Amino acid sequence: MARSLTWHCCPWCLTEDEKAAVRVDQEINRILLEQKKQDRGELKLLLLGPGESGKSTFIKQMRIIHGAGYSEEERKGFRPLVYQNIFVSMRAMIEAMERLQIPFSRPESKHHASLVMSQDPYKVTTFEKHYAVAMQWLWRDAGIRACYERRREFHLLDSAVYYLSHLERITEEGYVPTAQDVLRSRMPTTGINEYCFSVQKTNLRIVDVGGQKSERKKWIHCFENVIALIYLASLSEYDQCLEENNQEPKQDAEAAKRFILDMYTRIYTGFVDGPEGSKKGARSRRLFSHYTCATDTQNIRKVFKDVRDSVLARYLDEINLL
């Protein structure tokens, strides 16, 4: 409306309210123009996937590879989270032992288990010596190890064996988490998180959203101006239990096999369009496949290079520069 006023009315014919409306309209247009210029120089990538598929770890890797990484002070800030992850993991195995009817191999383990279970894992900020002794004792118990081997039957953090295998170092006084400790730390993502960085004079903004069921309804709000989706899924967890439901598998193993075989048939034998159709489609698509590990920095460096090249090539093609 304000724009129509400026086109059809003389400035001295406008009322004070109309003049104010014109000024607001001009300011909005200025902001939109600035935003358009900014968006033109920035590519937005959206990270999607179920909980614990490695989305936040991928973001941490981008910070290490293309950003400033984590300073010592920043790594110290992860110390309580590392401690909490250890307590959560051990509690999960102790609780699962009862359900799976796995006994402790040594009588003393029951006392140590009771001590661990008495502590609220999410309130842990330090690792007191008696807890460190209890954790080390339990991790050496054959019953706990047997329970760990059946981890697909209950929810357990991926980082459990890593942290428990480094208990002596982690429970030392003055412990400072390493970059690998930070990468393996787990805190469920809630809401929408963004990380911006520059790669070869190209500004990239990666948007990370929570993968739990309660968070997925927020995904729709993130799709605007997205040039590419990066969907992550954990190959090692397809038959494990969901974090939000310890009785529900992430995927039935046999169903997963049938799905993979069906996709293989469609992609490689031309099930949909015939062999020639598959060949024609394959030539026009830039696809890269890697066996990856989210905590392997060198591996992720290579994977992201291919993602970056693919995204930039598609973007340049869309604006007729390729």
Residue ranges for the known binding site for Mg(2+) are 56, 189
For 79-110, give the DSSP string. Answer: HHHHHHHHHHHHHHHHHHHHHHT---SSTHHH
212 is catalytic: yes
Burial class (CB in 10 A: 0-12, 13-18, 19+), 138: buried
Cα–Cα dist 288/309, whole Å: 10
Cα–Cα dist 176/239, whole Å: 34
Write phi, then psi, for 242 (nearest 5 degrees).
Answer: -70, 150
* Residue the block writes with tokens 């989210």: 294
Q: Which residues contact 305 (CB under 8 A, 6 or more apart)?
A: none
57 is catalytic: yes
Query: Which listed residue (6, 136, 202, 212) is catalytic?
Result: 212
Write phi, then psi, for 319 (nearest 5 degrees).
Answer: -100, 20
Amino acid at 191: G
52 is catalytic: yes
186 is catalytic: yes
* Binding site listing: 52-57, 158-159, 183-189, 208-212
Cα–Cα dist 174/170, whole Å: 9
* Binding site listing for GTP: 52-57, 158-159, 183-189, 208-212
Helix axis angle, 79-100 relative to 108-117, nearest 10°? 130
Query: Which listed residue (186, 237, 243, 295) is catalytic?
Result: 186
Select from 56, 54, 65, 4 the least CA-distant residue to 301: 65
Query: Which listed residue (52, 141, 181, 237) is catalytic?
Result: 52
**What is the chain's length?**
322
**What is the DSSP code (8-state) at residue 200?**
T
314 is catalytic: no
Cα–Cα dist 273/251, whole Å: 29
Query: Which listed residue (141, 181, 208, 237) is catalytic?
Result: 208
Cα–Cα dist 216/139, whole Å: 35
Residue pair 122/84 in contact (Cβ under 8 Å)? The answer is: yes
Query: Which listed residue (57, 84, 240, 295) is catalytic?
Result: 57
Active site members? 52, 57, 186, 208, 212
